[in-house]
């Protein structure tokens, strides 16, 4: 199927079997995520302990990256998705009934692991199912769906919490995860690119064989992930430092997110037509420049302008990290490779907030912003070298085949 053109039937299949359940699952996930710290405090945790419980979500996603690749390879994308979504629902139930914050932390860690399986299985399915000429558009749409679900989730969570209390958000997440599991059970089988009778491969062998890819293209993608993650970590701190209240800060984020949500398909279309670096490099330059201008933002209007620029860079680059990983993935051992790719890029995302916190403690928020800006600019140059050039787009390769 990867050499065929993308038909309306293919898009309908993706919409019903991939995009719809992803949106459902992320609505529930997004409803719960902002409430984890509050739930931990409600169970007697201190502020530091609550922060640790929240961090277990990201730790679980990193720890679960490599096992997720093995699970997706052994079970196949469909069964791995359904199983992980059921585990999601079970972990949400444990969190809802948690008698103390330790049990809550275990449930949150399991959520992180299961989300890693969901992400890798969906990426692997889209990579196999979608023709190469439309891969970036399909994966950018998946990235946009992540954003849409994460945007709607907190709003839905606020509504159900108002009506039914704090634990109601977990019941919403249980319902959406189970609904997503039922829909995902209808995922079609895909034709594998691997030759029939190919010998099974092991995770360690795939990681060794593609170590140079992780250390070159993967480092560039990790830098992009770091810059993206820094937006959510740095903007609230800067808003507080210039005297904005919670409502004004939320308005700034809403404006940035609105720009973010409108551009994902445009970015994917540009990548399919012009090559991956035609989007990855400008996105990094835009976000790096915005962080470089952040120390000059002394008012809400100035911060809003920076936030809009970050929304632009983040929006057009939706799906670019997944697309770069899918392009580099081998036909044999694809899920194991994507697991290593997720681990590599996930480390970049985890390092961003840690670096900002450290620099803010020993220097200043301005220094942290300039450090992120430097990573954005250097990362752009790195990706210019290692990502596919404009003349090497999937469309041009397909046309010349």
| Segment 346-399, tens digit of pLDDT | 998 888 888 888 888 888 889 999 999 999 999 999 999 998 654 454 444 444
Q: Which two tokens stand for residue 162?
A: 């108002």
pLDDT at residue 158 tops 90: no
Q: Other C-beta atoms within 10 Å of 372: how many? A: 28
Could you identify the residue written with the tokens 């810059």?
A: 227
What percent of the chain shows pLDDT beyond 70?
91
Task: Report angle CA 176, 182, 187 to the nearest 5 degrees.
Answer: 120
Across 21-37, average pLDDT: 88
Report how far apart, in Å, the C-alpha atoms of 164 and of each of 159, 167, 170 are: 9, 7, 11
**pLDDT of amino acid 1:** 43
* Closest residue by Cα to residue 225 from 334, 318, 156, 294: 318
| Segment 60-116, tens digit of pLDDT | 988 899 998 888 888 888 888 899 999 999 999 999 999 999 999 999 999 999 989
Given 1.10.10.10, 1.20.120.1200, 2.120.10.60, 1.20.1250.20, which CATH number is that of 203-401? Answer: 1.20.1250.20
Q: Which two tokens stand for residue 238?
A: 């800067």
Q: Which two tokens stand for residue 363?
A: 């220097």
**pLDDT of amino acid 303:** 93
pLDDT at residue 145 tops 80: yes
pLDDT at residue 267 tops 80: yes
Q: Distance between CA 135 and CA 272 in Å, rounded?
A: 7
Could you identify the residue written with the tokens 């220094």?
A: 367
Q: Model's pTM, two decimal places?
A: 0.86
Given 3.20.10.10, 1.10.150.120, 3.40.50.10300, 1.20.1250.20, which CATH number is that of 8-189? Answer: 1.20.1250.20
Q: Distance between CA 29 and CA 36 in Å, rounded?
A: 11
Contact 117, 71 (CB under 8 A): yes
**pLDDT of amino acid 377:** 97
What are the boundaries of each domain within the chain? 8-189, 203-401
Q: What share of the chain is helix, strand, coil (3-state, %, to 5)?
A: 85, 0, 15
pLDDT at residue 198 tops 60: no
Q: Distance between CA 292 and CA 286 in Å, rounded?
A: 10
* Closest residue by Cα to residue 257 from 235, 277, 275: 235
pLDDT at residue 12 tops 90: no
Report how far apart, in Å, the C-alpha atoms of 257 and of each of 27, 148, 149, 150 are: 16, 9, 12, 10
Query: First-to-last CA distance in the chain?
Result: 15
DSSP letters, 93-147, are HHHHT-SSHHHHHHHHHHHHHHHHHHHHHHHHHHHHHS-GGGHHHHHHHHHHHHH
pLDDT at residue 332 tops 90: no
**pLDDT of amino acid 199:** 60
Q: Distance between CA 43 and CA 247 in Å, rounded?
A: 27
Cα atoms found within 13 Å of the Cα of residue 184, Cβ hemisphere only: 29
Report how far apart, in Å, the C-alpha atoms of 94 and of each of 60, 62, 66, 99, 200 are: 16, 21, 24, 9, 36
Would the CATH topology of 8-189 be identical to that of 203-401?
yes
């Amino acid at each position: 199927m990867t050499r065929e053109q993308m038909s309306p039937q293919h898009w309908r299949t993706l919409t019903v079997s991939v995009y719809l359940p992803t949106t459902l699952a992320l609505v529930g996930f997004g409803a719960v995520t902002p409430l984890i710290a509050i739930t931990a405090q409600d169970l007697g945790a201190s502020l530091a302990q609550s922060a640790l419980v929240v961090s277990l979500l990201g730790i679980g996603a990193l720890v679960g990256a490599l096992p997720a690749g093995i699970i997706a390879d052994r079970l196949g994308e469909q069964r791995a998705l359904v199983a992980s979504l059921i585990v999601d629902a079970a972990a949400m139930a444990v969190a809802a009934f948690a008698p103390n914050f330790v049990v809550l932390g275990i449930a949150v860690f399991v959520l992180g692991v299961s989300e890693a399986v969901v992400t890798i299985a969906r990426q692997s399915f889209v990579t196999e199912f979608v023709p190469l000429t439309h891969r970036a558009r399909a994966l950018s749409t998946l990235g946009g769906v992540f954003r849409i679900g994460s945007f709607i989730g907190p709003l839905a969570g606020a509504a159900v919490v108002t009506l039914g209390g704090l634990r109601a958000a977990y019941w919403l997440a249980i319902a959406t995860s189970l609904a997503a599991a039922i829909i995902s059970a209808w995922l079609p089988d895909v034709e594998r690119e691997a030759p029939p009778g190919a010998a099974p491969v092991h995770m360690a062998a795939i990681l060794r064989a593609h170590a140079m890819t992780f250390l070159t293209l993967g480092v560039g993608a990790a830098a992009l992930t770091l810059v993206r993650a820094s937006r959510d970590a740095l903007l609230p701190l800067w808003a507080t430092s210039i005297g904005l209240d919670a409502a004004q800060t939320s308005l700034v984020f809403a404006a940035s997110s609105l720009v973010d949500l409108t551009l994902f398909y445009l970015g994917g279309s540009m990548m399919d037509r012009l090559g991956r670096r035609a989007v990855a490099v400008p996105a990094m330059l835009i976000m790096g420049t915005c962080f470089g201008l952040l120390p000059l933002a002394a008012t809400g209007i100035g911060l809003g302008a920076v936030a809009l620029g970050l929304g632009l860079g983040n929006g057009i680059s939706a799906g670019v990290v997944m697309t770069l990983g899918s392009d580099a993935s081998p036909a044999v051992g694809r899920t194991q490779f994507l697991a290593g790719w997720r681990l590599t890029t996930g480390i970049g995302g985890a390092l961003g907030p840690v670096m900002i916190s450290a620099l803010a403690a020993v220097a200043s928020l301005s220094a942290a912003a300039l450090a992120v800006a430097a990573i954005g600019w250097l990362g752009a140059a790195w990706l210019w070298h290692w990502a596919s050039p404009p003349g090497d787009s999937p469309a041009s390769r397909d046309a010349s085949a």
